């Protein structure tokens, strides 16, 4: 089983560059099983969030896996109704309790609206207290980054955003590179976009390397220095997604895939009017507490 390489974050921690995402996997035993399968197959990085409502199953799978805690990287995220400073402190403890962990490896501001600066302050303090190892943000466009990050005492270690060959975040990546901030991709496979999977270039490369199109996409992203964590509940797919470390795309092939960028046309845009209001009122994360 190929060892998954790590990337070094700007705070010195080493994060597995490839992980397993549990967005939209229900907490009816499905998340528990999927995470347990992923850990058995060699994954050591699990990405969840308070708003996925499945932190408890992630934590149980980690506990039952028998793998030492320090060998598994766990990411979770704070939901925006908890950003007021006192609520944020509570939210961090709630995530720790649900996960059944003494610390979280990476904790993110899930959506960059509302009292972001207060949430960040609580996260900086939790990091100093050893409850969190690394802190970061999510869904920050260049505009949102420039609105919030200059107010922070500590630079985020990651920004988790939509990223795939059709959405390559070129402007954002220039800003992140200046600050040695690592990009993490959600939707790394284009959220199942049929057009992306039909791209002749990607299909030709899949034939050349004896891989499937998904593996070509994930390899491209890995070589771009992006952390990816594709989601699946199918064991065969969980296994095949990570089989990308036994080949390398050439620089010409990388350039050809870079040319597929559409700058995210038609995809989720955090700057769009109404997005902030919609997310602030999306649901009550504490409805079942």
Residues forming the active site = 52
Please say whether the beta carbons of 69 and 41 come within 8 A: no
Token output for 132: 């969190």
Rounded distance, CA 130 to CA 150, Å?
24
Q: Where are the beta strands (DSSP E) in 119-255?
A: 132-138, 158-162, 182-186, 227-228
Q: How many residues are recorded in the chain?
A: 289
Q: Which residues, at least 6 apart from 136, have a Cβ–Cβ distance to it below 8 Å?
A: 106, 107, 108, 109, 156, 157, 158, 159, 160, 181, 184
């Amino acid at each position: 089983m190929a060892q998954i390489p790590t990337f070094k974050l700007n705070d010195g921690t080493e994060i597995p560059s490839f992980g397993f995402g549990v967005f939209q996997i229900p907490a009816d035993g499905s998340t528990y099983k999927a995470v347990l399968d992923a850990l058995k197959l060699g994954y050591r990085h699990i990405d969840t969030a308070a708003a996925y409502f499945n932190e408890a199953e992630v934590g149980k799978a980690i506990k039952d896996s028998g793998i030492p805690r320090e060998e598994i990287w766990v990411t979770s995220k704070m939901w925006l109704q908890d950003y007021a400073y006192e609520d944020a402190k509570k939210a961090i403890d709630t995530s720790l309790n649900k996960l059944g962990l003494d610390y979280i490896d990476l904790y993110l501001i899930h959506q960059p609206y509302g009292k972001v600066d207060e949430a960040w302050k609580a996260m900086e303090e939790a990091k100093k207290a050893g409850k969190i190892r690394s802190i970061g943000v999510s869904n920050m466009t260049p505009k949102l980054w420039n609105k919030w990050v200059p107010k922070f005492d500590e630079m985020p270690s990651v920004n988790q955003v939509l990223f795939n060959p059709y959405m390559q975040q070129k402007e954002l990546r220039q800003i992140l590179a200046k600050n040695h901030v690592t990009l993490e991709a959600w939707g790394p496979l284009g959220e199942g976009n049929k057009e992306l999977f039909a791209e002749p270039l990607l299909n030709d490369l899949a034939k050349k390397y004896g891989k499937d199109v998904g593996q070509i996409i994930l390899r491209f992203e890995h070589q771009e220095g992006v952390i990816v964590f594709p989601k699946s509940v199918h064991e065969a797919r969980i296994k095949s997604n990570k089989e990308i470390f036994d080949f390398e795309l050439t620089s010409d092939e990388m350039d050809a895939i870079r040319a597929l960028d559409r700058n995210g046309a038609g995809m989720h845009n955090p700057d769009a009017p109404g997005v902030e209001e919609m997310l602030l009122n999306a649901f009550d994360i504490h409805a079942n507490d």
